[in-house]
């Protein structure tokens, strides 16, 4: 079935989920569903500064869960911060930080499995503690960052007029 074309409008999708049923396959990494305190703000070029994920309000020690089924590809320190990355498919990874890992590289996880606990001290967090949640599609330099809120169906789609 083709999507209807609305004359004079441009549909802007903020995130294209890897599968049509992405919202059913993925969940929030914190329970209950947390407020988003810092939004996704990608840089114009991949090497420029930007916010390549979202910050979710949390409390220190709060359990962090896997957003979906996958394999842990990294659990360790990056720039002095504890990080956990999970590969959910051939084209999708999610990353959470700062997380004191309870998993190791190579572990298989299911959606909702505890992968660690929020570690206090996320730089730039506007509340007492935050979990930075990011999503990436594609490996290496050909990949790109995506708004992880698209995984849980929490994005707005807007129509913009075409001039």
The pair of structure tokens assigned to 91 is: 């084209």
Q: Per residue of the chain (163 residues), give pLDDT as tens.
A: 444 444 443 333 444 444 445 557 899 999 999 999 999 988 877 777 777 899 999 999 999 999 999 999 999 999 999 999 999 999 999 999 999 999 999 999 999 999 999 998 777 788 889 999 999 998 777 788 899 999 998 766 566 677 6
The pair of structure tokens assigned to 155 is: 């994005």
The answer to whether the CB of 78 falls within 8 A of the CB of 96 is no
CATH topology of domain 9-158: Glucose Permease (Domain IIA) (2.70.70)
Please tell me the distance from the alpha carbon of residue 63 to that of residue 15, in angstroms, as a whole number.
26
For the chain, which residues make up each domain, given as ranges?
9-158
pTM above 0.85, yes or no: no
What's the 3-state SS for 63-113?
Answer: EEECCCCEEEEEEEEECCEEEEEEEEECCEEEEEECEEECCCCCCEECCCC
The pair of structure tokens assigned to 19 is: 């599968």
The pair of structure tokens assigned to 62 is: 């709060």
Please tell me the distance from the alpha carbon of residue 103 to that of residue 99, in angstroms, as a whole number.
10
């Amino acid at each position: 079935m083709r999507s209807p074309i609305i004359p004079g409008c441009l549909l802007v999708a903020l995130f294209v989920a890897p599968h049509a049923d992405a919202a059913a396959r993925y969940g929030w990494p914190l329970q209950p569903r947390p407020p988003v305190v810092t939004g996704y703000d990608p840089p114009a070029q991949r090497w420029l500064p930007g916010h390549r994920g979202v910050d979710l309000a949390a409390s220190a020690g709060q359990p962090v869960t896997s957003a979906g089924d996958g394999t842990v590809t990294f659990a360790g320190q990056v720039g002095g911060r504890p990080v956990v990355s999970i590969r959910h498919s051939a084209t999708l990874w999610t990353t959470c930080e700062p997380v004191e890992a309870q998993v190791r590289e190579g572990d298989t996880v299911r959606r909702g499995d505890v992968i660690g606990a929020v570690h206090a001290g996320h730089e730039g967090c506007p509340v007492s503690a935050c979990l930075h949640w990011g999503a990436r599609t594609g490996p290496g330099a050909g990949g790109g960052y995506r708004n992880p809120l698209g995984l849980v169906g929490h994005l707005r789609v807007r129509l913009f007029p075409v001039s």
